[in-house]
Amino acid sequence: MSIPCRILVVDDEVGIREGCRRVLVPQGFDVDVAENGPMGLRQLREARYDVLLLDIMMPGMSGIEVLRQARQMDPDLICIIITGYATVELAVQAIREGAHDFIAKPFSADQLLQVVHRELERRALRREAERLRALEEEARELARAKAELQKLEAVEGRFMLTLVHILRAPVAVLQNTLQWIRKGYIPPEEQPEVLARAEARAGELLATLDDLLLLAHLKEGIGLSRVEVISLEEILEGVLAALRPRAERQGVALEVDVQDSPRVRANPDHIRALLIHLIDNAIRYTPSGGRVTVSLAVDRERGLAVGAVSDTGIGIPADEIPRIFEEFYRTEEGKRLQETGTGLGLPIVRQVVEMYGGTIEVESEVGRGSTFRFTLPLG
Ligand code: ADP
């Protein structure tokens, strides 16, 4: 045996205690003895043992009680019961209580060594099996993490590609415009119109970059330090003032219905972004002659501010509804009606409501219109 094993013999018979010591010490075991249960338990508390040789039938504290306490102290301890012919039943009970084996008195030196070696080997095998199980679990965990990483890398790769594609187009337009003007391809009288178009593309580019920045900040939880109690109605007024000209240009009526003026605890920039994207979408995806209705109310029972943006626009196919909250996703019908768009608005909306513990739901019918309903906890 390479590592010295420590054995404690607890038996009231001195002959057994000393007999065990005589057999085990020459085999390289460290052996201690105790003559009753309480003394044995004290020794178990003071030092770590590998094997407990325990007489089941002792005056005073019963062997079964010693066994119970010893197993509780060290579940890894090998417990071998020493039993007389008349106490075999007790030994069986001891096995049920967690003893590993028993040896009947009188026993030979060989029998004692056999049972001790066998139990030590079993314990070594148990430990090896546990180590292998842990290794297997670790390997499974690593494989899971690797698969997750590969998935993330693929998503990140797609994200970058889409991003480059989206950002490259307006920059190319700007470069062409500047080149054409510098090379004199555009007559002076046409230049204001061409420059106005280029300016619009630069504006879109900037808006896309701002959306990307906001989305990145929301994902990182940046901006939460500027949280305050705000009136949704006040923010809505500012948003409507900015979007009304667009609705008028497009021939879309804009109606508002605010009840109880809900207040929420949030960063005003986040709530502005939420409302702008929902209302801007409703206007952009509603053909001329349509109507957009924005409503705000309070659900006191649930402690929520509830908002809805409804339109009579193109609608969203049912199978695409879960996808419109993905970054860059745009429906075919949406792309046909609005050439420009980044697919970042609704991901921002979702991040905002999730960040503040709210919800967002969509109801839509193709060709009839859509309603986006959101909730935010009242401030
Ligand atoms: P963007 O409007 O820039 O394309 P969004 O993330 O705001 O990006 O919207 C994603 C897509 O969801 C849009 O391209 C459009 O296809 C669809 N969508 C969003 N809002 C509406 C709406 N009110 N009516 C119809 N389709 C909508």
Taking CA atoms only, the protein residue closest to ligand 1 atom 20 is 281
User: Cβ(327)–Cβ(215) under 8 Å?
Assistant: yes
CA of 215 relative to ligand 1 center, distance in Å: 16
Which residue's CA is minimally distant from atom 3 of ligand 1? 341
SS3 state at 358: coil
CATH for 224-377?
3.30.565.10
Residue 123 alpha carbon to ligand 1 centre in Å: 64
- Range in 10-19, 108-117, 128-137, 162-171 the model is least confident about: 162-171
Give residue 223's pLDDT: 83
pTM: 0.64
Closest ligand 1 atom to the C-alpha of 343?
A: 8
Asked whether the predicted pLDDT for residue 1 surpasses 60, the reply is no
Higher pLDDT, 164 or 117: 117
For residues 42 and 69, is the Cβ–Cβ distance under 8 A? no
Q: At what angle do helices 268-284 and 232-250 cross, to 10 degrees?
A: 30
Residues with Cβ within 6 A of ligand 1?
Answer: 277, 281-282, 285, 311, 313-316, 324, 329-331, 334, 341-346, 370
Q: How confident is the model at residue 319 (pLDDT cuts 50, 70, 90)?
A: very high
The Cα–Cα gap between 61 and 53 comes to: 16
Q: What is the mean pLDDT of residues 47-61?
A: 93
Span from the CA of 324 to the centroid of ligand 1 (angstroms): 7
CB–CB of 250/259 below 8 Å? no
152 Cα to the center of ligand 1, angstroms? 25
321 has pLDDT over 50: yes
Best of 166, 210, 324 for a ligand 1 pocket test (most atoms within 8 Å of beta carbon): 324
Task: Say how many Å lie between the CA of residue 338 and the centre of ligand 1.
Answer: 9
User: Which DSSP letter does residue 378 get?
Assistant: B
d(CA 296, CA 246): 21
Atom 14 in ligand 1: which residue has the minimum CA distance?
Answer: 330
Band the pLDDT of 86: cuts 50, 70, 90. low
Q: Closest ligand 1 atom, CA of 372? A: 23
Q: Please, are residues 298 and 305 in contact by the beta-carbon 8 Å criterion?
A: yes
Distance 229 CA to ligand 1 centre (A): 29
How many residues belong to the chain?
379
**Which DSSP helix (H) or strand (E) runs through 216?**
helix 191-220
- The reply to whether CATH 1.10.238.10 applies to domain 6-107 is no
For ligand 1, the distance from its centroid to the CA atom of residue 221, given in whole angstroms, is: 24
| C-alpha to C-alpha distance for 193 and 195, rounded to whole angstroms | 5
26's tokens: 């020459």
What pLDDT digit, counting tens, does each position of 101-129 carry? 999 888 999 999 999 999 999 999 999 99
At 155 the pLDDT is 83
How many angstroms is it from 345 CA to the middle of ligand 1? 7
Select from 163, 316, 327 the residue to mutate for testing ligand 1; criterion: most ligand atoms less than 8 Å from CB.
316
Nearest ligand 1 atom, CA 347: 6
pLDDT class of 246 with cuts at 50, 70, 90: very high
Going by alpha carbons, the residue nearest to atom 25 of ligand 1 is 315
The set of residues, in sequence order, having a beta carbon less than 8 Å from that of 347 and lying 6+ positions away, is 215, 325, 326, 327
Domain boundaries, the chain: 6-107, 224-377
pLDDT above 50: residue 72: yes
How many A from CA of 356 to the centre of ligand 1?
Answer: 22
- Give 153's Cβ-side CA count (13 Å radius): 6
Cβ 346 vs Cβ 281: under 8 Å: yes
pLDDT band at 61 (very low <50, low <70, confident <90, very high): very high
pLDDT in tens, 13-26: 999 999 999 999 99
**Which tokens sit at 288?**
């001329």
Find the largest Cα–Cα distance for the chain. Answer: 120
For 108-195, where are the E strands, in sequence order?
Answer: none
Segment 174-200, tens digit of pLDDT = 999 999 999 999 999 999 999 999 998
Band of residue 85 on the pLDDT scale cut at 50, 70, 90 = low
**Chain mean pLDDT for the chain:** 93
